[in-house]
Amino acid sequence: MNTDALFHQHILDNLYDGVYVVDPDRTIIYWNNGAERITGYGSPEAIGKRCFDNLLIHVDGKGLNLCHTQCPLAQTISDGKLREQELFLHHKDGHRVPILVRVVPLRGPDNRIVGGIEVFSDNTSRLMLRHRIDELERANMLDRLTNLSTRDHVDAQMTSELAKMQRYGWPFGVLFIDIDNFKHINDTYGHEIGDRVLKMVASTLSSNSRPFDTIGRWGGEEFVAILVNVNTAQIYDIADRFRMLVEQSKLFIGPAVVQVTISVGAAVAQPEDSIAGLIDRADKLMYQSKLAGRNRVTMDQEVASP
C-alpha cells in the first residue's frame, strides 16, 4: 500500500462516524473505528460477514427489517444513487441505536459499481445524555445496573412536573413499562442473562428518548418514563416507538437469540393528580396491556385519528 493510500486509510480509520465498505454481495471488506464505537462490533467480528448476517439488522421507524427488502446499501449498489435515511441499528449489547445513514456506490477504475460505502452517525443526543448521567451520578440517583434514574429521582421529577402543570398548565404524560414474561428469561437463561436483558431494554429506552424526558427504573423489570410538553397523540407515539424498538432488540447468547417485549400503560397527567394516583393509573393501564395480549400500549385517553 502506497503512502497516499495509508494516509487516506488512517483518516477513515479515525473518523468519529462509522464507515464500512462492502463488495457487490454486501460482504464487509472494511470497518473503521467509528463503526466499532457505535455498534460495539470490532473489525475482526465484522469483516468477512455480510452486513445482514445478524449484525446491524437495520430497521426503520415502523420496525420493518430492511436487510432483505429495502436495504439502502443494496439499492445503491443496484442503481448507483446516493441515499440518506434515519434508521435503527442493532448494537452488539442488544439494544437499538438511532443512526443517520448515508450511502454511496463504490466504483472501480472503469466506473462500474463494485460495492458500496455506508457512513453512519449516532443520532442520539450524546452530549446532553452524558451531562444528565453525570449529574445523576453525582447525586447518587442513578440505578447501577441500568444507568437509568432511580425511583427516588423519578418521584422528584414527577413532583416538579406536577407543580409546573398546576402553575403554568404545561402538559406531560407518564409511561409505566413492564417487560413481558421476564421470569421466563431468568428461569431459562439465568439471572446474569436476565440482567443483560434489563440493560438492553434500558439502553433502548434511553438511547431513543428525548434529552429532556426522564426514564427511570421503578423496580425489578419495571420502568417509568416522564414525557414533557406532549399531547395525547405524542405520548402514544413515543410509547409505541419504545414498544416497537424493544421488540426489535435482541441478544445473541451462543446459538440462542433472546428477545423480549414490553407492555405499556400511558397516562396523561391532570392538574388534580397526585404522584401516587398518576403512577397507579399508569400501572393499571399497563396491566390492561398485559390482559389484552402483551406487547402493546394502553392509554387512558383516546388518541384522535390524524
pLDDT tens digits along 125-150: 654 666 666 776 666 778 989 989 99
User: Does 63 share its domain with 142?
Assistant: no
User: Does 180 share its domain with 252?
Assistant: yes
Is residue 306 in some structural domain? Answer: no
Is residue 154 in some structural domain? Answer: yes
The closest alpha carbon to 227, from 241, 213, 206, belongs to 213
pLDDT reported for residue 306: 46
pLDDT reported for residue 210: 87
Q: What are the φ/ψ torsions at residue 88 (nearest 5 degrees)? A: -130, 125
pLDDT reported for residue 201: 98
Name residue 238's amino acid: I
Domain that includes residue 80, residue range: 3-122
pLDDT reported for residue 157: 92
Residue 216's alpha-carbon distances to 88, 225, 283, 298, in angstroms, are: 22, 6, 14, 19
Looking at the structure of the chain, the number of domains it has is 2
Asked which of 90, 122, 154 is the last residue of a domain, the reply is 122
Model-level pTM?
0.81
From CA 39, how far away is CA 20, in angstroms rounded? 12
Residue 221 annotated to the active site? yes
User: Does 170 share its domain with 263?
Assistant: yes
From CA 82, how far away is CA 87, in angstroms rounded? 16
Q: Which residues of the chain have pLDDT under 50?
A: 127, 305-306
Name residue 1's amino acid: M
User: Does 172 share its domain with 280?
Assistant: yes
Residues 6+ apart with CB under 8 A from 236: 266, 297, 299, 303
Catalytic residue among 36, 118, 221, 247: 221
Is residue 304 in some structural domain? Answer: no
Residues 6+ apart with CB under 8 A from 154: 214, 216, 218, 224, 226
